[in-house]
A and B are shown apart, each in its own frame.
Chain A
Amino acid sequence: MSGIVYILLGAGLVIFGGTTLAAFYWAARTGQFRNLEEGAKVIFDADEPVGTATDTFSDRNADRPLRRPAAVERTI
């Protein structure tokens, strides 16, 4: 096996292993592991807050339990 392949493999190992370690260090340093319960809520916003379901079969709108107003109505 030629030297260039060893160099590529070694570089890959260092870069990707290093990236993972660096990512872990970065996450710990910037407080990504703190206040986790708030972190779980970042995917919700004022328009789709916690408690609002966002998917349904299209022909079953009427009897859906967690109905949210149709978007077009609210645009007015």
Chain B
Amino acid sequence: MNSTTPLEKTSAADHDRRMRAAIDASTRLPVILFYSSAIFWLLVGTVFALLASFKMNEPAFLDRWAWLTFGRVRPAHLNAVAYGWASPAAIGTGIWLMARLCRTPLRHVKLLISGAVFWNIGVTLGILAILAGDSRSIEWLEFPNYASALLFVSYGLLSVWAVIMFRFRQPGHVYVSQWYILAAFLWFPWLYSTSNLLLNFEQIQGGAQGAVNWWFGHNVLGLWFTPIGLATIYYLIPKVLGRPIHSYYLSILGFWTLALFYSWNGMHHLIGGPFPAWMISASIVASVMMIVPVLTTAINFHMTTVCNFGALKWSPTLRFTVFGAMCYTLASVQGSSMAIPSLNVITHFTHYTIGHSHLGMYAFFTMVMYGAIYYIMPRVVGWEWPSARLIRWHFWLVGVGIALMIAVLSIGGVLQGLALLDPNVTFMKSLEIARPWLWMRSGSGILLTVGHVVFAVNFTLLLLKFGKRRSGPTLFGSRPAETESEMHAV
């Protein structure tokens, strides 16, 4: 690079900028489609979450209508946020990252559009089916066959697309994020189809159902949400800071050890259940071995951000992403500890587990997705976020809300667990012990709800290109088509 003249440098920079603009612009339609539907389902899922939370405190609340009973509202919440919000947000981010990392404009946009359409029809049918009482009553797999089949079709299209994109990438090194994304796009359809085949189409019998259920239930986190979340962090933190990952070697080690250990983890949900001891033991060992990939990512995220924590003040993306990255470490270490039988005996069947799942799915994954949306949308739409104040409000509302939720659920859960273990305490008493903590949880839920509304408003304003056009740095440039008119304007 030293031998290049300043002019050559400028033209290389200009070429790269135009190339990146073209790549970002090519992802516009599918990314906006997946993100918009994700945010719609986030709001729907939040309403169900609030309802379910208040029903925990006051069981008689809104119990006159069958479709609003706890047994339907709670799975409707889980499925709306997992398949309505988190997955489409992951897919939208995955599409954009894939195009950027392959260094090629998006191919076969129609595959992705059809994927988004099938996906949303599937989720709508599934949620309606759950509310109508047609749930499968299998956690994480409540959608009946006619809904899950549509999700599978959508996934199949996305997998095919991912392979095609990878095939036609520009030559060069395959960045660690790309490994994660490609793996996630291939692993999930396998997980989803295998579990649905065994549980919904050709139902296996007895305890084996539980094993398949939790093989899926844990792997949907470990082999779908986690890889996409980590891929996003591994791209965004270095990119925002302008610093390469601290130890790239560790990041690659982290990917392959995650691939090796994570798929064994599911059986730790069944400690104490009627299963062969080797199954549970293998799962506990694998859960503890997860320390290896988790440490590699923790070291990398921390060492890349260290000395740059000041940047959290000015970068919305970094603020959300680093929050998520820290919570990934916390959630994983907590998860490994919860697999240890002596701790599991206290926390199992209590609200502590719910706190843990929100630490993973919200404080880690959802926060990272917010960060990604804040980075990606201006580049894709060609418009800056209309209000930085709304972004700050969003961050503090959801940041404080989720921290409070996890804290009160953990404390309430442990108290509940200790009461359950005590033969002198009645079962009813153990529920009453948890009740004040559940009220606080509902309070934290209100904070989250307001945060989601603020986010949705800012997102909608961005889509409508509200406000004055800014030429600030978050807008990374202009699309090739716009460049010329801008030159004239200037």
Interface, chain A (partner B; CB < 8 A): 1-2, 5, 8-9, 12, 15-16, 19-20, 23-24, 27, 32-33, 36-61, 64-68, 70-76
Contact = CB atoms under 8 A, between A and B. Distances in A.
B377 to A, nearest CB: 12
6 smallest beta-carbon distances between A and B, as pairs: A71-B477, A40-B248, A46-B12, A45-B16, A40-B244, A47-B17
Interface in B1-16: 9, 12-16
Interface stretch (B122-130, B169-177, B289-297, B337-345): B169-177
Given A33-B252, A54-B473, A57-B316, A47 B202 contact: no
A53 B318 CA distance: 11
B315 interface: yes
B15 to A, nearest CB: 7
Interface in B112-154: none
Interface in B182-204: 183, 186-187, 190, 193-194, 197-198, 201-202, 204
Residue from B174, B259, B389 with most neighbouring chain A CB atoms (10 Å): B174
B249 interface: yes
Main secondary structure of the interface of B (DSSP, over half): helix
B412 to A, nearest CB: 36
Given A5-B202, A42-B173, A64-B314, A54 B476 contact: yes
Residue from A15, A38, A43, A54 with most neighbouring chain B CB atoms (10 Å): A43
Nearest to B4: A46
Contacts of B251: 40
Interface of B: 9, 12-17, 19-20, 100-101, 172-175, 177, 183, 186-187, 190, 193-194, 197-198, 201-202, 204, 235, 238-245, 248-249, 251-252, 256, 259, 310-311, 314-318, 374-375, 384-385, 388-389, 391-392, 470-478, 483, 486-487, 490
Main secondary structure of the interface of A (DSSP, over half): loop
19 contacts: A5-B201, A27-B174, A39-B175, A42-B175, A43-B239, A44-B239, A47-B13, A47-B17, A48-B239, A49-B242, A50-B242, A53-B473, A55-B315, A57-B388, A64-B314, A71-B476, A72-B477, A72-B486, A74-B14
Contacts of B9: 46
Nearest to B11: A46
B303 to A, nearest CB: 12
A53 B241 CA distance: 5
Given A32-B173, A32-B174, A48-B16, A58 B249 contact: no
Contact of B245 (A27, A40, A46, A55): A40
A12 B192 CA distance: 11
Contacts of B476: 48, 54, 71
Contact of A37 (B204, B248, B256): B248
A48 B242 contact: yes
A71 B21 CA distance: 11
B187 A16 contact: yes
